């Protein structure tokens, strides 16, 4: 190892970055403590059981727990790969070849070696960014192409990336200094700006970003549902389903942003008053991205009424009408 004079480059994020392709996805969230990777491998193949691993990465952990994990291939794929001129140096001694009766002429170094190798792939692809990554990354069935998209997003500052702890250049917020648009204007707001508008905090802040907002009229928010959500620990083990009440809560939070973006209620607190016409159309699971569409029906001095619906892949998964009581922010009841 040779010491160098230049400072090591680190990249982090201030707000979530999410990329997906089909049923594969990768999410990067802020993590000031370093790099943590959670990966779910699911090939829907009896020879490759579903595996999940969540692990904090440093040099020692990488060398001991990740680097030894070998690549793997199905026996039925070997001939096609060799025909294409790939894997010429691969054999059962350095590659895990899975046949109908299990691994051929080899044995596992780890019980979950397959998912460890996918984490190794992900780390290698992220270093296309030519920097050490500081983030909490959740990947579901991602491959090289999707991992490279995430690396590109880090380079481009897609999540308000940080370089050596300093925020990357970003567009200026609205001139009113609130981070939210003037009435009648449409804009997008990030996680930091949402935190300035709503009182909710992790793990109960259920909106990652707002991609469209018109004060007192409508808003569209995004919630990336990951396998690391705390509620999945008990709802339900082995069959994770996002609680319907939390989907409605996410819609209510987007509604609250609509209300507090207007001048009249920017200093008010919005409390749920009633829910009507609540319907749940299909389950929401890890890897889904909720699109939260909310429209104001009526806004008065002390109450408000909105209609919202949550979608996944263009299909409605939940809908509700929500009414709020609007009280001065310094009132607790």
Is 144 labeled as catalytic in the residue annotation?
Answer: yes
Of the residues 144, 200, 265, 305, only one is catalytic, namely: 144
* Interatomic CA distance for residues 60 and 250, integer angstroms: 39
Is there a contact between 309 and 315 (Cβ–Cβ < 8 Å)?
Answer: no
Sign of CA dihedral 314, 317, 323, 329: negative
Token pair recorded at residue 76? 């039925």
Q: What is the strand order of the sheet 209-214 is part of?
A: 186-189, 209-214, 218-224, 289-299, 303-312, 315-328, 268-280
Of the residues 200, 235, 265, 305, only one is catalytic, namely: 235
Residue 185 host element (H or E): none
Cβ within 8 Å of residue 230, ≥6 positions away = 203
Is 235 labeled as catalytic in the residue annotation?
Answer: yes
Active site residue ranges: 144, 235
């Amino acid at each position: 190892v040779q010491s160098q004079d230049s400072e090591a480059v680190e990249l982090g994020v201030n707000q979530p970055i999410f990329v997906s392709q089909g049923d594969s996805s990768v999410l990067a969230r802020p993590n000031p403590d370093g790099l943590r990777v959670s990966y779910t491998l699911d090939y829907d193949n009896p020879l490759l059981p579903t595996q999940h691993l969540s692990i904090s990465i440093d040099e020692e952990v990488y060398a001991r727990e990740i680097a030894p994990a070998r690549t793997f291939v199905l026996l039925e794929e070997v001939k096609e790969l060799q025909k294409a001129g790939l894997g010429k140096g691969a054999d059962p001694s350095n590659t895990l070849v899975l046949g109908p009766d299990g691994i051929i002429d080899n044995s596992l170094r780890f019980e979950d070696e397959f998912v460890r190798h996918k984490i190794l792939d992900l780390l290698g692809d992220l270093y296309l960014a030519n920097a050490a990554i500081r983030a909490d990354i959740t990947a579901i069935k991602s491959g090289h192409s999707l991992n490279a998209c995430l690396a590109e997003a880090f380079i481009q500052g897609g999540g308000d990336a940080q370089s050596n702890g300093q925020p990357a250049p970003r567009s200026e917020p609205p001139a009113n200094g609130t981070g939210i648009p003037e009435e009648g204007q449409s804009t997008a707001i990030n996680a930091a700006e949402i935190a300035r508008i709503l009182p909710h905090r992790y793990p109960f802040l259920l909106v990652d970003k707002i991609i469209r907002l018109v004060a007192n009229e409508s808003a569209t928010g995004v919630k990336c549902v990951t396998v690391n959500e705390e509620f999945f620990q008990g709802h339900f083990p082995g069959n994770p389903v996002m609680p319907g009440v939390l989907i409605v809560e996410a819609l209510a939070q987007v509604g609250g942003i609509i209300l507090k973006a207007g001048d009249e209620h920017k200093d008010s607190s919005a409390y749920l008053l009633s829910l009507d016409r609540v319907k749940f159309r299909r389950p929401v699971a890890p890897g889904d991205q909720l699109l939260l569409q909310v429209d104001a029906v009526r806004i008065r001095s002390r109450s408000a009424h909105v209609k919202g619906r949550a979608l996944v892949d263009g299909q409605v998964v939940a809908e509700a009408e929500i009414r709020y009581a609007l009280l001065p922010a310094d009132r607790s009841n």
